[in-house]
Amino acid sequence: MRSAGRIFELRVNGADCRVEVEPETPLLFVLRNDLSLNGPKFGCGLGECGACTVLVDGVAARACAYPVRLARGREIVTLEGLGTLEAPHPIQQAFIDAQAAQCGYCINGMVMTAKAFLDAKPRPSESEVREALRYNLCRCGTHVEIVQAVMLAAERGWRRDGAATE
């Protein structure tokens, strides 16, 4: 017999939501299965590839290895919370402009990691961008374009709220 789980109140992409799950349920499963947010991807399930990256209080976190119990009281942002098709966040626009996606599986993690990184270091060097993204895996080999996209976003600048600074 399956237990009913516990109720967790979460704040995801600016909206309050309630889910009933076990405390150790990975945040990724809650986001995808309970909240129908498909930006974060299941990759390795071990927190090593980065496909599942979300922002937790502005810090990049691997949602597949982040128990939902730790998300209570924190601000969770997924790729869907950055921008829209009509008005992409400046970092999303930079990825589009640099054509920094091939299959698209790693892009969620790249964008979310880059967002947290650029919020902390708005004017990085290329080597700092490479270091920041080094634990996000891309099997298609678009690393050059991804680094270009992050550098382009940094050149264009933005405030933490997503508004352009230029």
CATH number at residue 53: 3.10.20.30
Pick the last residue of a domain from 81, 106, 141. 81
Cβ atoms within 10 Å, residue 36: 8
Residues 17 and 38 in one domain: yes
Provide the CA 129 distance to its chain's centre, in angstroms: 16
Residues 60 and 100 in one domain: no
Residues 55 and 22 in one domain: yes
Strand-strand pairing, 6-12 and 75-77 = parallel
Closest CA to 11 of 50, 56, 52: 56
Residues 77 and 53 in one domain: yes
**Contacts for 140 with CB less than 8 Å, ≥ 6 apart:** 102, 103, 106
pLDDT exceeding 90 applies to what percent of the chain?
84
> pTM of the prediction?
0.92
Residues 20 and 64 in one domain: yes
The chain-wide mean pLDDT, for the chain, equals 92
- Evaluate if residue 111 carries a pLDDT over 80: yes
CATH number at residue 129: 1.10.150.120
164 in a structural domain: no
Average pLDDT (2-27) is 92
**Helix H segments across 42-142?**
90-97, 107-120, 126-133
